[in-house]
Amino acid sequence: MVTSRWTAAPAPTASLRRRGVVLERAILDAALEQLGTVGWKGLTMEGVAAGAQTGKAAVYRRWPSKEDLVADALQAGLPRFDAAPDLGSVRADLLQLCRQAREAMYSRPGFALRSVIHECDPVQAGRFREVIFAGVLEPAGRLLREVIERGIRRGEVRQDAANGYVYDAIPAMMMYRSKVCGSEWPASDLEEMVDRLMLPLLRPGPR
């Protein structure tokens, strides 16, 4: 019996067929995954390439450095804060806004962002300052400002509460407790922060 020596050629892999934005999206997703699992210090361009099932050269062609890659991955992946909640009271609006912030913090991009904040040295952190401001701090502050200004119009919030220190209170507290205390912000902690910190800051004083 003659045995055929012919074998089928291996099918092309998905990585060979991907091009352009599809491949770029896979690389950015792999970078976020690496940040969430091994952190900033453990992330390598080789590891990202393996996670994206592509070659290292494909990563370096698009992003010449680890910092460039991570900045774009964070910018593309961070959740969007589009509209301030309007649930009828400043307390309900603040709680909903805090829940949205918690979901963002504990999403995959949120874990990635926290690894960058926690592990980068000051020089490296400077590379991501604009990404963090534009993607997290500015939109969170804008929505908080909308909630407070609406509360002023309702008469629930005193007029002079519309200031930068008050707008920073919730983001600063959530970041501090997460980074320093390891808090995962259960619902009870969000309610306590709103009831014991924010509402006393915002309530009109006695006339």
The alpha carbon of residue 12 and the mean position of all alpha carbons in its chain are separated, in whole angstroms, by: 35
Instruction: Please give the domain boundaries of the chain with CATH numbers for all domains.
Output: 18-65 (1.10.10.60), 78-202 (1.10.357.10)
Percent of residues, the chain, with pLDDT higher than 70: 90
DSSP string, 48-104: HHHHHTS-HHHHHHH-SSHHHHHHHHHHHHSPP------SSSHHHHHHHHHHHHHHH
Structural tokens at position 130 = 């604009």
Percent of residues, the chain, with pLDDT higher than 90: 52
On whether the CB atoms of residues 113 and 78 are closer than 8 A, the answer is yes
Q: Which of 39, 109, 98 is nearest to 74 (CA)?
A: 109
pTM, full prediction: 0.76
Across 54-58, 68-72, 79-83, 201-205, least confident range: 79-83
SS3 string, 137-165, reads: HHHHHHHHHHHHHHHHHHCCCCHHHCCHH
Q: Is the dihedral of CA 127, 39, 45, 131 positive or negative?
A: negative
Question: Average pLDDT, stretch 141-157?
Answer: 93
